[in-house]
Structure 1
Amino acid sequence: MTQAQDNYLLDLSASRRGYAINRLCGSLKDAANRQRFSEDEAAYCDAYGLSPEQKRAVLERDWTGMLDLGASIFYTYKLAMLDKKSMQYLGGVFTGMSAEEFTALLRSGGRRFG
């Protein structure tokens, strides 16, 4: 994933780099996989072939680190949901705000560029 200012671009290079982590997170759509992941997160990461950096990011719930390693927000959100985290929570993490601040910003019309 390449970073331009405060925006992440999921391009082909990042998609390839994040393939394993995105596969793992995508697998969490199934209840049986969520159960297996919850029982032994490290082993589940190993089964999906995560790099050591990706595994660390998943186990530590380093959301920004996951994006830096090629993960897509759409897949990492499946992991966040397992932890009962909202999209507003992640938005806050990615912008340096609390979930409440991020939600208030959205309700007020969001950031203005220009």
Structure 2
Amino acid sequence: MSTTPQVPGTYVFDTAESRRGRALNRLCGSLKHAENRAGFQADEGAYCDAYGLTAEQREAVLTRDWNRMMELGGSIFYVFKLAMLDQRSMQYLGGVFTGMTTEEFTEALRAGGRSFG
């Protein structure tokens, strides 16, 4: 049984998740370098294979299933590098993660965010 606190609707990025998502996060982290971004864009599938992603991680990256990447051990700090490559903002991802549009999420932030009761 896990002793990690659970908050409904969130992903807790603990040591186990870090290990599970290592290949995915290494791939996303590599995108900070221009030559790696070019290599990824030239052949996304081969780039995923070079990093040893699981079949599920590979599919999530190729289809840009942002929620699934998080479920498979992705860290938002690394996954965001892939989103930036696609010219997606943090507000866009926030909307995806909360089931809102980018505009709704941005407005919610301006209104003070959401609270957990």
TM-score bracket relative to the smaller structure: over 0.9
Q: TM-score, normalised by structure 2?
A: 0.94
Large movers: runs of 4+ above 2 Å: none
CA displacement 1:11-66 (0-9 Å, x = unmatched): 11100000000000000000000000000000000000000000000000000000
What is residue 101 of structure 1 aligned with on the other side? 104
| Distance (whole Å) between structure 2 residues aligned to residue 21 and residue 70 of structure 1 | 8
Give the TM-score normalised by structure 1.
0.96
Q: Which secondary structure does the structure 2 equivalent of 1:9 belong to?
A: coil
* Distance in 2 separating the partners of 1:101 and 1:74: 22
| 1:111 CA displacement | 0.7
Note the alpha carbon deviations across 1:72-114, whole angstroms, 9 max, x for none: 0000000000000000000000000000000000000011222
Determine what percentage of the aligned residue pairs are the same residue.
66
Letter in 2 for 1:17: R
Unaligned runs of 5+ in 2: none
Q: Tell me which residue corresponds to 1:80.
A: 83
Distance in 2 between residues matched to 1:4 and 1:112, nearest whole Å: 12
Q: Which has the higher strand share?
A: 1
